[in-house]
Structure 1
């Protein structure tokens, strides 16, 4: 697999932006979430709306690009098993162990769950439906909350495996070459057409729900950009053209955001033709922003930063841990009325600390690594897990003996 430092770095930045977004959900006014602070801010709606339309599409696009570079057609069966191990196992573990604290906190705050986490967990593990409204997903008896991305990505990966004979056929390779050969405005105009159809035909009928079986608008959008990533990953001319267009793409994305977000914020009533235009602008904004992000990442981030290997490994555990940490910390802090500045600082700092500590624990314990999406530690690295502490002990022991002798 070709190593693309820009995509690795972009994945790290995307997860950090996701953590910032979910911390913001605690404080943004008029938006519902699992738990809310007393210090709500209306101004947060502006940056949150700016991110909202493209943030998850970016993660699916990066995933498609990574798979395209991996070239799963060389061993599709092994790839399918690997994706199931790396995605489905952490999903199930997260739903049973990591996510329940969010449901508990939400249920207690709503008054539908009695305090006592152990008792709640025993009831939750029965996988029986709860009365509606106690927490998100209560009607199913179990919830995946922010881990829905893993479920979707796992399904998309298996669907891609089923499509590999078509994608790697002569016609499929011609399609890849045609997409990689797009230049100038066509780089935006051609791939965006399906997205325009989705927002006008599917979005009015299928509200975004993160429900795997009924989320057809999001499936259409996310699987399409995921597939685009696979098709474009190894197209060298595409990346050269993208780097060349980074400035116009950046300006175009900024202008579209500056037009689109105020239309949402001020709740303008639109006629039917205008509504089609606004929805089409949304699709155009999503694809243009994704291209601009890829272009600038290619230009600025495609280098072997010293922090990148460690941060790349940390992405999956941080993703699994972060929202549960945010909700739990907020559950403890919100009743204290510490003030908006102190509370938000503690929530963000506590979330980052929990993610960092969790990752450090997970990466050192072989049994936990697959449960948080990490590959097994390489055999030659296993002794290295203990070498640092052993060296420290030997140095201290030697220093202590020398001091005794000197006395």
Structure 2
């Protein structure tokens, strides 16, 4: 028996789901693609390219309903395995020790250049980052219309920390914990639970659009919590069920359904923008369609990845370690590079791929040369400095 086969056997016994690791890495990689696109679409972002591409909104819209939902769902699965292995107290402490240093470093050091360059592009402040950081950013100056200090793209981390805490409390408070709750819900049938999650996703989208659009501010983002915590909890409840084998067996049908939902969703958006429905119906229709489309895509991706990528790999091990530092760094590096390249007046079809490539390369260089083996920086980016691995 080869080393890989022995490793795969141990993984199966421990419930390791390599295909979800691949999906997690891919979803975080899509963030770089998506945030590069945000520079060129007519939506609000920290800085904007002089060249706005209206057509780019369509692939961005196709990503929106499922890219973050997939991350919260996979996070719920991973947290369930850790929770069962470690117990509520150790699980909560371990996640806090890993994620809090990244969040604090991000808010105080990594994110400030984004706010500085945003205000510089708007002409709201004079040149001088250090003065801005000391006199405005750290002083929580709100006079510019920005929330300072801020976590910007790192908002996922405080949300995840809150959900980790809620999951720990649920497991400790419920008789039999999350395991018993999952078994009780699954007695009603796995398909019924999958449908219920999709309906919850759709309904929470409608609630957010009608009553409280996402703010990423944590405390006042109650409608978004209905969506994100619902998907996180769904991942935790389904983590040790037979859902993965079912999705693998139905992957072809799910892939076709996802493609059909994509085409229908884009056609629906076009029609709604063209006035095909009364104004009062637009948000409920759009939110419901986005939830159904997003959930079908997530199920299809899980089924396909389970069939194709459920095996250990040295590359996967490396990417699993690197993904949190790269996530923390990518948006600041992207915006810094964009501020430089925008003045070069390159053709946009050269500039945008170059920005993406330079951002990815810059993150990797910083990870390899400055973070991975550093006893100081590695723990601040969620790594064990002795092994260069995740804590």
Whether these two folds match at TM > 0.5 is yes
* 1:254/1:7 CA distance change after superposition, 3 Å: same
Partner of 2:48 in structure 1?
36
The Cα of 1:128 is off from its aligned counterpart by 2.1
* Residue pair 2:19, 2:306 contacting (<8 A) in 1 also: yes
The Cα of 1:310 is off from its aligned counterpart by 0.7
Partner of 1:385 in structure 2?
none
Partner of 1:324 in structure 2?
332
Higher CA-based Rg: 1
* Residue pair 1:252, 1:288 contacting (<8 A) in 2 also: yes
**For 1:230 and 1:322, how far apart are their aligned partners in 2?**
28
* 1:278/1:25 CA distance change after superposition, 3 Å: closer
Gaps of 5+ in 1: 382-407
**For 1:332 and 1:58, how far apart are their aligned partners in 2?**
33
List per-residue Cα deviations over 1:309-356 (Å, max 9, x = no partner): 111111001100000011000011112212213322331121011110
* 1:178/1:240 CA distance change after superposition, 3 Å: farther
Partner of 2:125 in structure 1?
113
* Residue pair 1:166, 1:172 contacting (<8 A) in 2 also: no
* Residue pair 1:35, 1:109 contacting (<8 A) in 2 also: yes
List per-residue Cα deviations over 1:177-233 (Å, max 9, x = no partner): 355567685354222232233233343110111111111221110001000111111
**For 1:345 and 1:283, how far apart are their aligned partners in 2?**
30
* 1:171/1:108 CA distance change after superposition, 3 Å: closer
The Cα of 1:166 is off from its aligned counterpart by 4.5
Partner of 1:68 in structure 2?
80
* 1:182/1:115 CA distance change after superposition, 3 Å: farther
Partner of 2:269 in structure 1?
264
TM-score by length of 1: 0.85
Partner of residue 16 from structure 1, selected from 29, 32, 36: 29
**For 2:308 and 2:270, how far apart are their aligned partners in 1?**
32
List per-residue Cα deviations over 1:115-160 (Å, max 9, x = no partner): 1112222224533223233xxxx2x321111000001001111111
**For 1:5 and 1:373, how far apart are their aligned partners in 2?**
20
* Residue pair 1:26, 1:33 contacting (<8 A) in 2 also: yes
* 1:123/1:188 CA distance change after superposition, 3 Å: same
* Residue pair 2:190, 2:243 contacting (<8 A) in 1 also: no
**For 1:101 and 1:131, how far apart are their aligned partners in 2?**
18
Partner of 2:386 in structure 1?
377
Local SS of the residue matching 1:304: coil
Partner of residue 212 from structure 1, selected from 190, 211, 218: 218
* Residue pair 1:243, 1:295 contacting (<8 A) in 2 also: yes
Local SS of the residue matching 2:214: coil
Q: Once superposed, what is the RMSD of the aligned Cα atoms?
A: 2.2
Partner of residue 363 from structure 1, selected from 372, 381, 391: 372
* 1:80/1:173 CA distance change after superposition, 3 Å: closer
Gaps of 5+ in 2: 1-13
List per-residue Cα deviations over 1:245-277 (Å, max 9, x = no partner): 111111112211211123324514323457534
**Which deviates the most, 55-64 or 249-258?**
249-258
List per-residue Cα deviations over 1:296-319 (Å, max 9, x = no partner): 111111011231111111100110
Quick check: 1:252 aligned with 2:257?
Answer: yes
**For 1:103 and 1:226, how far apart are their aligned partners in 2?**
30
TM-score by length of 2: 0.89
